[in-house]
């Protein structure tokens, strides 16, 4: 696999990890405030944080890291993030389930 393909794979994963970490930090803050806004995408957008739906959070992705379905799970996570964050529509990679050299994993 060419090095450029690795770059595309890992850039998407790094982005997913970054936004998930920022989301989780804000999520904890909102839960501590106790006003019930932890599931409101607007509460995150106000602080320039992308809303990450439950199925796309890093903790959920990590649970499936060693399964054959990881590529499909990553693609679905990217689709879910785009659905909840209109500024990302059509931007995130969604080719992790694409077979590469006979493999079902993205690497």
CA distance linking residue 46 with residue 78, whole number of Å: 21
Give the count of beta carbons closer than 10 Å to the beta carbon of residue 16: 21
CA distance linking residue 14 with residue 44, whole number of Å: 20
CA distance linking residue 46 with residue 102, whole number of Å: 44
Q: Which two tokens stand for residue 65?
A: 């890291």
pLDDT at position 67, please? 93
Residue 97: which of 77, 70, 79 has the closest Cα? 70
pLDDT at position 99, please? 66
pTM of the prediction?
0.83
- 74 falls in which pLDDT band (50, 70, 90)? very high
pLDDT at position 102, please? 44
14-68 residue pLDDT tens: 999 999 999 999 999 999 999 999 999 999 998 999 999 999 999 999 999 999 9
């Amino acid at each position: 696999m060419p090095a450029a393909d690795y770059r595309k794979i890992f850039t998407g994963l790094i982005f997913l990890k970054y936004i998930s970490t920022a989301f989780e930090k804000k999520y904890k803050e909102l839960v501590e405030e106790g006003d019930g806004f932890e599931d409101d995408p607007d509460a995150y957008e106000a602080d320039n944080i992308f809303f990450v739906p439950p199925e796309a959070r890093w903790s959920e992705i990590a649970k499936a890291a060693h399964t054959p379905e990881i590529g499909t799970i990553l693609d679905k996570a990217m689709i879910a993030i785009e659905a909840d964050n209109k500024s990302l529509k059509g931007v995130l990679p969604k080719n992790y389930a694409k077979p590469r050299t006979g493999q079902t994993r993205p690497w």
